[in-house]
Amino acid sequence: MSKSRNQTTYTTASIVNYYAALDWLQPAEIAILERLQPQLATMKMLDIGVGGGRTTLYFAPLVKQYVGIDYSPQMIAACQQRFKDSEYPMSFEIGDARDMSQFDDNSFDFILFSYNGIDYVSHEDRLKILAEVQRVGKSGCYFFFSSHNLQALEKGLTWQKQLSINPLRIYTNLVALGLFWLFNPSLNRQKLADSDYLIVRDDSHLFRLDTYYIRASQQLQDLSQDFSQVEIYPWKSQERMLEMDAPVMETELWLYYLCQTI
Ligand SMILES: C[S@@+](CC[C@H](N)C(=O)[O-])C[C@H]1O[C@@H](n2cnc3c(N)ncnc32)[C@H](O)[C@@H]1O
């Protein structure tokens, strides 16, 4: 995977402006904010891949201390500008989740890596991120992140899934499907079916990003060494999934995971 392509994409002015204008919370994020609300006032929070500060708007006013990091200096500058007059205790700094050596061990009570930000590094680097989160999180620290769902990608990549009652929608869906296969020449259905995780070029930001997709079963396995109490939320829902084979698993392109460090 090309690290530089992702990092460069996240420094592009139009993309920074896009994230700096976002001001809504996703349903699964609302569920977790409400769930942790009684404890937030005592929590030191780390918001990794903070982007343009979408989640800052909601969490910074509620926590004891808030730190946002991003490996894109332009995203950090956008946050500093957006919150320059904020009355709440918050700071923003350039930082890479793969090496958070600027933070001591056991520093945070709640760590967020929202909107699939963890999906823009290689598999090895992703495991480094999990180890770093475990290190900088206190024992029992909450870690809440989302990631692209390989199971839904696999199921959605057929022409039959592009059908709709709207002919224009069918047309745009089929063009998107064709472009997907064009941008991923080494991918095929067998590889999709056999993989527990994959890096693909999907249509986000016009196929400019290398994006990691993982099966939930594999994600649970990767978390099992350092994290416990894992819960999964479809991003569009405030209800946690109680069964791994729920039909929603085949349609939701990304899933949120809430867990705690061991
Ligand atoms: C999809 S955007 C989400 C931004 C923001 N969290 C939001 O929800 O609006 C992903 C963000 O993660 C950042 N990012 C990706 N990999 C990172 C890494 N290894 N360390 C720090 N930030 C990273 C990107 O620069 C980008 O700002």
pLDDT tens-digit profile of 49-58? 999 999 999 9
User: Quick one: pLDDT at residue 245?
Assistant: 79
List the end-to-end C-alpha distance of the chain, in Å, as a whole number: 30
* Radius of gyration of the CA atoms of the chain, in A: 18
Whether pTM exceeds 0.75? yes
User: Quick one: pLDDT at residue 1?
Assistant: 44
How wide is the angle at C-alpha 32 spanned by C-alphas 220 and 128, nearest 5°? 40
User: Quick one: pLDDT at residue 2?
Assistant: 45
Atom of ligand 1 nearest to the CA of 125: 19
pLDDT at 162 over 80: no
Does residue 98 sit within a domain?
yes
8 Å CB contact between 93 and 25: no
Structural domain of residue 163, as residue ranges?
A: 152-201
Does residue 209 sit within a domain?
no
Domain count, the chain: 2
Determine whether the shortest distance from the Cβ of 154 to ligand 1 is under 6 A: no
Asked if residue 184 and residue 81 are part of one domain, the reply reads: no
How far apart are the CA of 63 and the centre of ligand 1, in A?
Answer: 21
Asked if residue 37 and residue 51 are part of one domain, the reply reads: yes
pLDDT at 234 over 60: yes
Q: For all residues of the chain together, what is the average pLDDT?
A: 94
Residue bearing the bigger pLDDT, 159 or 14: 14
Share of the chain above pLDDT 70, in %: 99
The residue nearest atom 13 of ligand 1, judged by CA position, is 49
Residue 100: count of CB within 10 angstroms of its CB = 21
pLDDT band at residue 3 under the 50/70/90 scheme = low
